[in-house]
Amino acid sequence: MCRHLAWLGAPRTLAQLLLEPEHGLLRQSWAPRRQAHGTVNADGWGVGWYGPARPEPARWRSARPLWAEASLASVAPHVASGCVLAAVRSASAGMPGDESACAPFARGRALLSHNGVVDRAVLPAAAWPRAESVCDSAVLAAHLLDAPDALGERVAAVGAADPGARLNVLLTDGGRLLATAWGDTLSVLQTADGVALASEPFDDDPAWRDVPDRTLVTATPASVELTAL
């Protein structure tokens, strides 16, 4: 299992989103509060963000624990974006441990993170050549990135084929956030300057709301829509 978050709204630095919150991804890498599967997320991390120089997002991924990434603390305060997607990883047994297996996965303008587990045997064979890694999350990402607008339908179909799957997904194209809650926790926070989605709240703001299981979330900086799956 993993932990992930996405932000869409006024620009925030990577430090503000990943490192500075009391219960942010840095702390969740070693002491998550709501993680039911696994105890630490020490098998890598990644972050993707959008900047003005080019349409495709930038990514920084590593197979090291987030707390061991010494350079991040000096770089993160200097990188700001209005759309960020980040994750810390707890690898499933038997899955590869290199950085290509760490979210976010990318295609064109899209970024995707998967928090959960899925039987790769239920995923279409056509997804494998486009996957960044042979790990379950990467193959799932390749399948879902084929049709981002059909995220809810594809997640529901995969869940029907693998009833034991946990399919919490975050997806963004830089202008909107899509997410599914399927088998694990997901929370949403609307603020005056944007919206955050996260596996678990990164602070104790009472405005955080839990997303019901089997739900698709569609969010812009000004609105959040929940659709039952």
pTM of the model as a whole:
0.96
Share of the chain above pLDDT 70, in %: 99
**Is residue 217 within 8 Å of residue 178, measured between CB atoms?**
yes
What kind of fold does domain 3-228 have according to CATH? Glutamine Phosphoribosylpyrophosphate, subunit 1, domain 1 (3.60.20)
Q: Residue 104's closest CA among 161, 25, 205? A: 25
Active-site positions read 2
Q: Residue 63's closest CA among 29, 33, 8, 100? A: 100
- pLDDT tens-digit series, residues 59-82: 999 999 999 999 999 999 999 999
Q: What's the rounded Cα separation, in Å, for the pair 199 and 182?
A: 11
Mean predicted confidence (pLDDT) in 153-162? 98
Q: What's the rounded Cα separation, in Å, for the pair 11 and 22?
A: 20
**Phi/psi of residue 71, nearest 5 degrees:** -75, -20
Q: Is 69 left (phi over 0), alpha (psi -120 to 50) or beta?
A: beta
